[in-house]
Amino acid sequence: MPSQKPADRIHSLRQLLNHHSYQYYVLDAPEIPDAEYDRLYRELQQLELQYPELITPDSPTQRIGDQPLAAFSQIRHEVPMLSLDNVFSDDELNDFYRRAQTKLDLNTEIEFAAEPKLDGLAVSLIYENGMLARAGTRGDGVTGEDITQNIRTIHSIPLHLMGEDWPVKLDVRGEVFMPKAGFELLNQRAREKNEKEFANPRNAAAGSLRQLDPRITASRSLAMYCYAVGNADSMGKFTTHSDVLNQLSQWGLPLCKERSVVKGVKGCLDYFNTMGQKRIALPYDIDGVVYKVNRLDWQKELGFVAKAPRWAVAHKFPAQEEITTVNAIEFQVGRTGALTPVARLEPVFVGGVTVSNATLHNMDEVERKEIRVGDRVIIRRAGDVIPEVVSVVPGSRQLHANKIVLPAHCPVCGSDVVREEGEAIARCSGGLYCAAQRKESIKHFASRKAMDIEGLGDKLVEQLVDEKRIEHVDDLYRLQLNDIASLERMGEKSASNLLAALDKSKTVTLSRFIYALGVREVGEATALALAKHFGSLEKLQDASEEDLQTVPDVGPVVARHVFHFFHEPHNRQIIQRLRTAGIHWPDQQANEQNQSLAGLTFVITGTLTGMTRDEARAALQARGGKVAGSVSAKTSYLVVGDSPGSKAEKAEQLGVKILDEAGLMKLLAE
């Protein structure tokens, strides 16, 4: 095929890039990888550099290129950009509907075009002969600011309309907004630079669109959905508003996918309720829905009143933000011991419910937002999301308001509160004792890799705690037959089996017992290293942070966790009661006499028949061997059971010795 002339190739590239931008930014259905789009874009850039006389304003390369403005110029709307009246209840919606029926002298149901009410900034796009010529903000409805340069940076807005048969002049109205993900990213960058954060996506969108430097606007995630045509006469062949929107979509303009056509008040209310349920899951903020009489001739007949049309109304959701007073601050303890500051508020109606509590997340948030008792604060609630304090109302602080201080002791159990340097979360150190953590600590204690108490599953643990049969892990060993058998879905047989499993679990290894205690950051490998290094629980309990850091793989953070755990009196009490209940382990020094596998690394794969993989791991570790999770050149042996998978193939490739189960048993017996 003969090569194209430069002008033809440039034209083809622009069409291709516009098509793929539409697929990506408007339809969210990309047809080519990003790398291919970038290649086409660079080719166009190179051709335009060679032939600058062929550059046109609607080229994809011209989205960002103008110099920063000294100030925005004014733009006058040929057709005023009017606001909408609001309704907040079913009764108010019924009143709006009856007025429209009366004005139109109708007894039949009215059809409405319905769409979400985006929480952004209203703008007007002027296309002349299909090319974006100007863009302006709503302003006072008659005069706005010329934001053409910044609008051109938004990729979902076409610089040139697709298709054909566009009016000579087209005035498209829509809302520019910032998606939730873009808003979070923008504020994350602000936090990293210690800059002021935006309060909400609407403010972020407005602030981004009104930048004098379009490069700043281009760096932020903005999008737009179109919802009307200002000069409706230019769309003369259409009879309904929904048809107009469908045509805009065919011309490549972005429209909200959630739009619909409904009939009567019931149709409106069904749509309102549906969008209310979807609201939280949407990737953008909405604060209500909009109903527009669908027939354009009826819109003309209904006309306008003051600064709003009679043929459209916004049905607002209950407010998601309100102002109230912080009466007190309390700290809640979660199931993992994390302390969360909670603001007790002067009750306020927000997001459809009365709110009297709001989370402050952690002390970093409290300090960053500078919240104090007595402050007037903005509260946000979105659907089922836990209410949160957004910010303090400027100028509302009372004299002598005290800073919020992290408690030194857990408000639930009185154990020491520990907050590691550089961490946002503070935690209760009474893991075995604290009532807020008891269910999770007992579940972990009984788990297969810890005490391995067969039959004591999560649901049974919750039953035992809820029925007040046990409070702490040591209470497990004081359970009687009737304590268990009288529970729902439990009988004497199941209760007897559990008591037998509890008795069996009293004989354990020191490393498994350490792991079962649930010390933060102490997994199986670290528990084994601690057991080997100190040899006895007493020496471990009395170790200093410096002593702990001499253990292989134990750094300062883990050392602090271990130190605080064993120096919390409540935890020591529980451990002593466990020992008194009969939990014991073989003498570590006796175990150390047989270290025949020291220096060897094992990997276990497949299903073993004579023992579980956990039992095999424990046996190898008891003889000094190290058990890893993946095969490498440093692996000494791969232990293979039934259905070994890809690890066996890798071992063969690397020349690693392979042991079957019989070979493993022989090695352990030596």
Which pair of structure tokens corresponds to residue 231? Answer: 């000069």
CB neighbours of 22 closer than 8 A, spacing ≥ 6? 158, 162, 252
Q: Which amino acid is at 209?
A: L
Which pair of structure tokens corresponds to residue 238? Answer: 């259409």
Reduced to 3 states (helix: H, G, I; strand: E, B; else coil), residue 501 is: helix
Q: Say if CB 202 and CB 121 are below 8 A apart.
A: yes
Reduced to 3 states (helix: H, G, I; strand: E, B; else coil), residue 112 is: strand
Q: How far apart are CA 359 and CA 525, in angstroms?
A: 36
Q: How far apart are CA 516 and CA 442, in angstroms?
A: 9
Burial status of residue 666 (CB atoms within 10 A of its CB: 0-12, 13-18, 19 or more): exposed
Torsion sign over Cα 376, 362, 221, 49: positive
Which pair of structure tokens corresponds to residue 504? Answer: 């069996």
| Total residues belonging to the chain | 670
Tell me the pairing of strands 426-428 and 626-628. unpaired
Burial status of residue 625 (CB atoms within 10 A of its CB: 0-12, 13-18, 19 or more): buried
One-character DSSP codes across 188-227: HHHHHTTPPPPSSHHHHHHHHHT-SSHHHHHTS--EEEEE
Q: At what angle do helices 264-278 and 90-104 cross, to 10 degrees?
A: 140
Nearest of 227, 267, 258 to residue 124 by alpha carbon: 227
Annotated active-site residue 117? The verdict is: yes
Q: Say if CB 238 and CB 166 are below 8 A apart.
A: no
Alpha carbon 155 to its chain centroid, in Å, reads: 25
Considering the candidates 117, 292, 532, 626, report the single residue annotated as catalytic.
117
Alpha carbon 253 to its chain centroid, in Å, reads: 30
Q: Say if CB 175 and CB 123 are below 8 A apart.
A: yes
Distance set, CA 238 to CA 114, 242, 259, 649 (Å): 18, 9, 18, 68
Alpha carbon 610 to its chain centroid, in Å, reads: 45
Reduced to 3 states (helix: H, G, I; strand: E, B; else coil), residue 413 is: coil
A 10 A CB-CB count for 583 gives: 19
Nearest of 599, 592, 602, 600 to residue 622 by alpha carbon: 592
H or E element, residue 532: helix 524-534
Nearest-5° Cα angle at 428, 527 to 582: 50
**Residues of the chain by 3-state class (helix, strand, coil), percent to 5:** 40, 20, 40
DSSP state of 280: G
CB neighbours of 519 closer than 8 A, spacing ≥ 6? 431, 561, 562, 565
Q: How far apart are CA 150 and CA 214, in angstroms?
A: 5
Greatest extent of the chain over all pairs of C-alpha atoms, in Å: 101
Residues classed as catalytic: 117
